[in-house]
Structure 1
């Protein structure tokens, strides 16, 4: 196995500056991730502010119930025991629940959380617990109801749950029936090529999906199967038991809502003033909270002294909203700007593991932490990888391609290679024939037109027909060249579809089960053995 650092396009300038310590990005965050004593400073602040968070034992008791149901492993129980200690801290990160754990970036984020917790524990000499926050309250069903595997064609095969919710409900609230789970399992079994690992893979998937209420439960069980032995604690942000504990925090988010809105708007203006782009919208009058009404998740806004949604389905005064929180806390959930505040109200968060886009929008929340007498935690970028399988590497060597060339697009290089296979020079010959025909035939048409004007359009039509026939033969020759090189072109396609499917980085498209099917569960051990990197470096792993 070789590991080579590379770059990926489309990163966030703000996140990159924050990680590298360049520009004015660091002014937008609480801690300097490169500062030698950042962990010590954050730990000291957390020790002094335990009173700002929910009761530790109550939170752990809630997590015990959830993890015993979906993530029941001895290492997880040990993590929860350690979390009860008054000196324990946490590293947390999360993602929406996705079909078959969603894209591989989810796996890399979970691995980063575990590695970051281990490193922090060694540096501080005190317990640091890894926690994965399943964003089950999110309602973007079309974003999480599918995944992809790489077929032999090659192409990315989409596997999707056909269920279409009637309302914009949270992912955890959407029930997936047994027939839909069965179809999804049949689809991925059909799409995965036969291998010595396939039976074990399908057994794992069946365990995760069977009897699961919805995506979040299946996601939790599969994530537990992959990381439970490493002590990764899971929580579902839509867990009703957790919601009851969070009622007091939701009350604070409502009571200080105007101040929070001003803090978000002030931070957003500062980000733009520094020359960066906003990653999340900051709406005027936005409450940055969702209210679940008749099963539908509605984003609340402040208008005319009321908390209401865009369609006016609900309209509550602040006092009515606070009362509703006391009676039905399960009807409330956070958006991307209040979720960080909720997370730090639950746990002594030493560091939060985020994608580059998340690091960017977290900058909007710094002043909001201060409103609630809190501080933004240390932010760590998740690890980022591209896996290059031996067959793909062989093809890259064969066609003298490196990762950067694949990343920047293969189409033009593939055309150049194909043109070089035209050993008879047919493309050049056709160009010569068309040029010679036009040169000889054009004067003939002009002379014919002098004899009789009506012969000129006839001649031009005839010229177009002849040129069309030449083009037709040229196409047939080109198709013959393609057939002669069909195997090689499939190899070019294999490179592209493996590393940048659908024009995106591999980690954003394929499920990890595609690679586990090819390489076995040792692949997970390999990922966990890769040295941690918190500098946002993308690494290409040649398996």
Structure 2
């Protein structure tokens, strides 16, 4: 069975909006700046160069150097951080939540897409430098989304409380969690490597932001990845004018709503608030609401006059946190960024933001759908060969796949469509006769047509069911294999954690994926591992 790929559009796992975006449908042209093709990056570079405030660069470099003070940093990452001070250096960025032990596999694919795109850009545009950025979502507060991961079909959950920005959350208590997880890992060389990663990331760091930075750096530091925690007062100084505009005029609300109207035939990913900012402290992240001339912090007694909240913004910008609508603007204001790489849901909400960016006079980045991957072993590929399954077959919904293979493996046709067509012709002749006699006869003919057609359909279903029983052994093998590759009849990349594959492949896992993925190609890659 060849190690092959299937297009995103043909995989059956992407929304109609993403399929139309990838097909560059005319109705979406106004919602993005440039489609992510290698030749389009030159104009994106020139636009960002003319628009970006280079005074933000020394601050960015200083913040990153402080954040990396106690991190074992590769020479390439150090160089990339230093290069960010130069006006000919640009970034490619992905963002992700602080999922425990990185969460689902697609965390890897987002970052590798980002790294590999910078490599392609360096080859195409050698007079510029390109830096891969992982923007840690340290200010998110939805802890229930990130406090677990799946390992070999089991869910490992960190049971603790979190009410503020997750990046500031203490890692205290993860020692007990680790002891349970370590038992599942076993004692192989690769298992010990995973244990070491977990211990050094989560047990040797005080908060979730530092822990996640350590883990991402261990996995990707050699490739020059730069990891940014934007929950930072110095960085937020550059965001003050945009936050002030939001507090005083709430311009994002109407602009995003107008754009969302253009997407009304699709599922709307996010809806804007009147004010798209949060107030944050270590154990608090709540929406800012304007009521009767007062700025109130939702679910608290904290409130400010206009003058008070603007003074707070000026003196303590770190107390203001952008929500899903404002975060992209914050990112693009402080980074010399060319392209954002995300999953389908992320790209969908970015498509709502272009007019808002235009009003803020910030260059809208190119939007690239991250690589998607199915990891398979050579043993699984051989199993598929033996039962004559293609990758396209395996991407089918399970019920459809089993019906298809039953019909394909049956020694006689199960599809009774020819008989249905023959029956329809017979009734056409009867209707012709009925038109020349009493009207009541037409009703009798119609009733017989419905009855006999339904009878054939029931026979077809029973025949299919009978053949499934006869072919139960091979169909069970098909089911077992698909369940291995698509756990819970879902994408592997959304279910499994990288540690499961690290046990078998060790340090070879990341290079195997890096060497395969081409971020500008719209293919769902299948990577066969040993």
- Do these two structures clear the TM 0.5 threshold for a shared fold by scoring above it? yes
> Distance in 1 between the 2:35 and 2:398 partners?
39
Q: 1:492 offset after TM fit, Å?
A: 5.5
CA contact (8 A) 1:163 1:176 kept: no
Inter-CA distance 203–493: structure 2 relative to 1 (3 Å threshold) = farther
Out of 163, 170, 173, the position equivalent to 1:175 is 170
Matched, 1:307 2:295: yes
Residue matched to 1:279 = 269
Inter-CA distance 262–157: structure 2 relative to 1 (3 Å threshold) = same
CA contact (8 A) 1:90 1:130 kept: yes
Q: 1:528 offset after TM fit, Å?
A: 1.1
Residue matched to 1:214 = 207
> Distance in 2 between the 1:266 and 1:320 partners?
31
Matched, 1:130 2:132: yes
Inter-CA distance 294–308: structure 2 relative to 1 (3 Å threshold) = farther
Q: Deviations over 1:46-103 (max 9, x none)?
A: 222233x652111101001112334522221111121111211111111001111111
1:178-327 alignment runs, 5 A limit: 180-192=173-185, 195-238=188-231, 242-256=232-246, 257-272=249-264, 275-283=265-273, 286-292=274-280, 295-311=283-299, 313-327=301-315
Matched, 1:334 2:339: no
Inter-CA distance 12–393: structure 2 relative to 1 (3 Å threshold) = same
Residue matched to 1:520 = 506
Residue matched to 1:503 = 489
Q: 1:254 offset after TM fit, Å?
A: 2.5
Residue matched to 2:410 = none
Residue matched to 1:462 = none
CA contact (8 A) 1:264 1:367 kept: yes
Residue matched to 2:154 = 157
Secondary structure at the aligned position of 2:91 is classed as: strand
> Distance in 2 between the 1:21 and 1:499 partners?
30
Secondary structure at the aligned position of 2:353 is classed as: helix
Residue matched to 1:537 = 523
> Distance in 2 between the 1:248 and 1:94 partners?
19
Secondary structure at the aligned position of 1:532 is classed as: coil
Matched, 1:369 2:357: yes
Out of 6, 20, 23, the position equivalent to 1:20 is 23
Residue matched to 1:31 = 34
Inter-CA distance 404–305: structure 2 relative to 1 (3 Å threshold) = farther
Q: 1:299 offset after TM fit, Å?
A: 1.7
1:355-394 alignment runs, 5 A limit: 355-394=343-382
Matched, 1:395 2:392: no
Secondary structure at the aligned position of 1:375 is classed as: coil
> Distance in 2 between the 1:183 and 1:496 partners?
34
Which has the higher mean CA deviation after the structures are superposed, 64-73 or 332-341?
64-73
CA contact (8 A) 1:67 1:233 kept: no
Secondary structure at the aligned position of 1:217 is classed as: helix
> Distance in 2 between the 1:417 and 1:253 partners?
57
Q: Which runs of 5+ in 1 are unaligned?
A: 151-155, 419-480
Residue matched to 1:460 = none
> Distance in 1 between the 2:40 and 2:512 partners?
29
Tell me the number of residue pairs that the alignment of Structure 1 and Structure 2 aligns. Answer: 463
Which has the higher mean CA deviation after the structures are superposed, 401-410 or 207-216?
401-410
Q: 1:12 offset after TM fit, Å?
A: 2.8
Which has the higher mean CA deviation after the structures are superposed, 78-87 or 222-231?
78-87
Residue matched to 1:81 = 82
CA-atom RMSD in angstroms: 2.9
> Distance in 1 between the 2:230 and 2:301 partners?
24
Q: 1:494 offset after TM fit, Å?
A: 4.8
> Distance in 1 between the 2:348 and 2:399 partners?
32
Q: Which runs of 5+ in 2 are unaligned?
A: 407-468
Residue matched to 2:332 = 344
